[in-house]
Amino acid sequence: MNPKEFEHPEGASEPVIQRTRAGGDHDLKREMTERPPITPELREKYDRQLTTLAQLMKEAGTWWQLDGMMNVSLYRKQKGGDYIGQHADIDMAVRRDELQKLEGFFRSRGYGLFIRAKDGDFRDWRRVGHKAFHPTKGWSPHIVAIDDSGVIRDSELKKVEISIIDFDQEGFPLANGVRYPKEWLGDRIMSLKGEEIHLSHPARLVMWKIWMNRGYDEKDFDLLAETNALTDKDVDDVEAVLREMARHNWWDKAPGFDRESAAIKARLGKLRGKN
């Protein structure tokens, strides 16, 4: 795919596909064995971005939680610590059954729903409605700041990567078709600069993080273990969910649990015996 910088289908007033250069205000690279240290400027910027997101979602009035390793930074800040290092982006989880409401709300606040693909030094952004707002092979969902013409604009909170949570008929959350405990979506709220940040349950974080194999992921796991945020029951529940995921062959990037069991069990072992 090699779209024009702005692609307008016939009769459309807004661009459907936009292309931007890769890059950001961080030095994080996937081959690094640990994250670059936080700087005073980035610390202040992360604080502003997170409080801006909290304000935005308070106005939206929908369920949300912070996703990704930013949670671990905030687990540490709750105990008087600091960010674990530089982060590539901010991630947030929302409910699929609230996407239609969120689409209208975000548009009223200067944001659009996009799915993004990587192409070398470029990023291709496809504008979508809520029905097409989901991950597909090579494309990941984001909310992105836009101007009145629908063109991506600079903003303190320019983009947020989105995880979308589905539920089964009995109200259990699903990870690619596999149930996980309802309590993993319970409220874990911390105050940051007077705003309420909704944190992820650490077990749900581990459920996704455990498969990752970037250079700094092992160090990230050590930092997560140091927070003592999980009980042994949490770890047992994570292992049960992972086994069910593997049984369903849920992700083409993840070999079966048996073939990866040594690495996965080693990571789970770091989390046991903390509480």
- The stretches of the chain forming alpha helices (DSSP H) are 40-60, 70-78, 99-108, 202-209, 217-226, 232-247, 257-271
- Are 63 and 98 in contact by the 8 Å Cβ rule? The answer is yes
Q: Give the model confidence (pLDDT) of 190-199 as tens digits.
A: 999 999 999 9
Q: What are phi and psi of 129, to 5 degrees?
A: -90, 180
Comparing 2-6, 11-15, 187-191, 223-227, which segment has the lowest mean pLDDT?
2-6
Coil, strand, or helix at residue 168?
Answer: coil
Comparing 15-29, 73-87, 222-236, which segment has the lowest mean pLDDT?
15-29
Res. 4: pLDDT tops 70: no
Q: Give the model confidence (pLDDT) of 132-175 as tens digits.
A: 999 988 999 999 999 999 999 999 999 999 999 999 999 999 98
Res. 252: pLDDT tops 90: no
Give the torsion sign (CA, 134, 140, 144, 146).
Answer: negative
What's the pLDDT band for 242 if we cut at 50, 70, 90? Answer: confident
**Could you tell me the residue ranges of all domains in the chain?**
1-23+40-200, 202-275
Mean residue pLDDT of the chain comes to 89
Res. 275: pLDDT tops 80: no
What average pLDDT does the segment 190-210 reach? 95
Q: Give 203: exposed, middle or buried? Use CB within 10 Å, 0-12, 13-18, 19+.
A: buried
Based on its alpha-carbon atoms, the radius of gyration of the chain, rounded to whole angstroms, reads: 19
Res. 231: pLDDT tops 90: yes
Instruction: Specify the CATH number of the domain 1-23+40-200.
Output: 3.30.460
Who wins on pLDDT, 175 or 85? 85
Read off the tokens for 253. 């990037």
Whole-number pLDDT of residue 203: 95
